[in-house]
Amino acid sequence: MTLRTLLEADDVRRAVTRMAHELVEHDPDAERLVLLGIPTRGAVLARRLGEQMTRIAGREVPVGLLDVTLYRDDLAGQPTRATGRTEVPFDLDGATVVLVDDVLYSGRTVRAALDAITALGRPAVVRLAVLVDRGHRELPIRPDAVGRNLPSAKSERVAVRLSEVDGEDSVTIG
């Protein structure tokens, strides 16, 4: 299988910066704007977005982690997964929550995340930010901020690599 690099480190950095601007512009006065990253790479992206959004908005944009393992609908067909950490150091009631993940594919992870968020509180609004939207949705879910739309075949695999986890930033397909 031949891998093609679609985004390199500078492309990823520019995409995150553009997404941060889009999210702040969409909610410029949202005092209760918070980010929840889906581990592992969604959490890294949420931290990066949070830093950029804090700089742009001139106020801190809090970032948390949301493990969705127990809310997935495909656990029976998957190998046993270890549950991760959920860290939500802020009240979700009435907040504008931006859910952050690396790749949007079928939409099932986002559906699980919405269930997990509902178990934690009742946000005023939930938005979605993803680095890569590759299509093939099985559920009616659409991101609000996208780093890159990437039409792909179902048989292809999209790999997001981030320096905090993988030692480098890139997006490949193969």
Distance separating alpha carbons of residues 65 and 37, to the nearest angstrom: 5
The per-residue pLDDT for 1 is 67
pTM, two decimals, is 0.93
Query: Nearest-CA neighbor of 98 among 138, 66, 75?
Result: 66
For the CA atoms of 142, 173, 165, 167, what is the dihedral angle to 10 degrees?
-140
The per-residue pLDDT for 2 is 85
Q: What is the CATH number of domain 10-73+85-152?
A: 3.40.50.2020
Residue 58 Ramachandran class (φ > 0 left, ψ -120 to 50 alpha, else beta): left
Question: Do residues 56 and 19 make contact, with C-beta atoms less than 8 angstroms apart?
Answer: no
Domain boundaries, the chain: 10-73+85-152
The per-residue pLDDT for 27 is 85
Cβ partners under 8 Å of residue 36, min gap 6: 46, 63, 64, 65, 66, 88, 97, 98, 99, 100, 113, 117
- Other CB atoms within 10 A of residue 53 CB: 24
Distance separating alpha carbons of residues 124 and 34, to the nearest angstrom: 11
Q: Which two tokens stand for residue 60?
A: 């801190």
The per-residue pLDDT for 30 is 75
The beta-strand segments (E) located in the chain are: 4-7, 33-37, 63-65, 96-104, 125-133, 145-149, 158-161, 170-173
Exposed, middle or buried, 6 (CB in 10 Å: 0-12/13-18/19+)? middle
From first to last of its 174 residues, the chain has per-residue pLDDT tens of 688 999 999 999 999 999 999 999 998 777 899 999 999 999 999 999 999 999 999 999 999 999 999 888 776 666 556 777 899 989 999 999 999 999 999 999 999 999 999 999 999 999 999 999 999 999 999 999 999 999 899 999 999 999 999 999 999 999
The per-residue pLDDT for 160 is 97
Q: In one letter, which amino acid is 85?
A: R
